[in-house]
Amino acid sequence: MELERAVEGYLRHVALERGLSDHTVAAYRRDLAMYADWLRDHGVDVIETVTPALIADFAAERASTEPPPASSSLARLQSSVRGLHRFLVREGRADDDPTGRLRPPKAPRRLPKALTITQVDALLDAAGPAPGSDDAAAADPAAVRDRALLELLYATGARVSEIVQLDVDDTAHGDLLRLRGKGDKERVVPVGSYARDAIEAYLTRVRPALAAKGRATPRLFLGVRGAPLSRQSAWLIIQEAAERARLTAHVSPHTLRHSFATHLLQGGADVRVVQELLGHASVATTQIYTHVTVDALRDVYATSHPRAR
């Protein structure tokens, strides 16, 4: 089969039968156009004549271009090529899949970035005054809500999607909070006094007025029109607080989750306890945070031990 016909058939498949977005299909089209051009340059016009050796040469050549492409871009390119050949085999248009031995590039390990405890304090104060402080009585209602939101994110290490899905009744269990995570898996996490006080202030002073502006909803956090607070709105609240706190590091809802885990481990918490609190299915996912604390230990050692250097 000619290269163009093979590529177009696969693109129709991913667009119509798999229902991929226009953006994704466009990315596949660019990748496969590059692949088809490379094959023609190497004397290949018929897709069935592609060999594993050609696939390996193509992958190696793309990986060695200057400037080096991102691992994610290489992985997507390889996925596009692999998908094309597997499609042709499934459709009976080719006997073999030459991409069987193709391995995706190894993505660089990115350690999660956590805020220091001082930075977290600054972020929380920038969101709104602490309950019981001198400024709390005159605080803007949105600031009371925002403080409660950030306090709860940091106190539980929850994903922002888990927090915005909370109902008011979920907070009625004292110092425990039931979260619904990925795959609707539930877990129970403790909530410290700072977050409980902030939630109580929000429920007492702010939420009733917000709820009166919209349709009845059990959701805990509401927007200014009374609708449930969205993930995007929560992200903007954190961004604005970070700007007011003059934090130069990128701060997102996940930053507070990373900070939660890192500070627990730095305080001596067992990694399996942190795994349970974060809702990770595997302890291997949680262990990435141990590298952060090891780096901190190394810094302390380097600056404190007389023979460290």
Task: List, for residues 138-147, the tens digit of each pLDDT value.
Answer: 788 999 999 9
Cβ neighbours of residue 203 under 8 Å, at least 6 residues apart? Answer: 168, 171
Dihedral (Cα; 265, 268, 272, 273), 10-degree rounding:
-90
pLDDT (tens digit per residue) in 218-236: 999 999 999 999 999 999 9
Show which residues are catalytic: 159, 182, 254, 257, 280, 289
pTM of the model: 0.61
d(Cα 233, Cα 175) in Å, to the nearest integer? 26
Classify residue 98 as exposed, middle or buried by CB count within 10 Å of its CB (0-12, 13-18, 19+): buried
Report pLDDT for 111.
Answer: 59
Q: Is the dihedral of CA 129, 130, 134, 139 positive or negative?
A: positive
- What are 176's strand-pairing partners? 190
Main-chain dihedrals φ then ψ at residue 54, nearest 5 degrees? -65, -40
Report pLDDT for 300.
Answer: 57
DSSP one-letter code for 244: H
Report pLDDT for 304.
Answer: 65
Structure tokens at 67: 């400037």
Dihedral (Cα; 99, 105, 106, 107), 10-degree rounding:
-130
Report pLDDT for 309.
Answer: 57
Report pLDDT for 272.
Answer: 85
Distances (CA, A) of 291 to 37, 192, 280, 284: 43, 26, 17, 12
Element (H, E) at 189: strand 186-190
| Amino acid found at 295 | D
Distances (CA, A) of 269 to 169, 177, 264: 29, 19, 5
- Show the low-confidence residues of the chain (pLDDT under 50): none
CB atoms within 10 A of CB 27: 17
**Within 13 Å and on the Cβ side, how many CA atoms surround 255?**
22
Report pLDDT for 292.
Answer: 58
Q: Nearest-5° angle of CA 7, CA 95, CA 53? A: 75
Report pLDDT for 25.
Answer: 86
Element (H, E) at 180: strand 176-180
Report pLDDT for 187.
Answer: 87
Element (H, E) at 188: strand 186-190
Report pLDDT for 249.
Answer: 76
Report pLDDT for 137.
Answer: 76
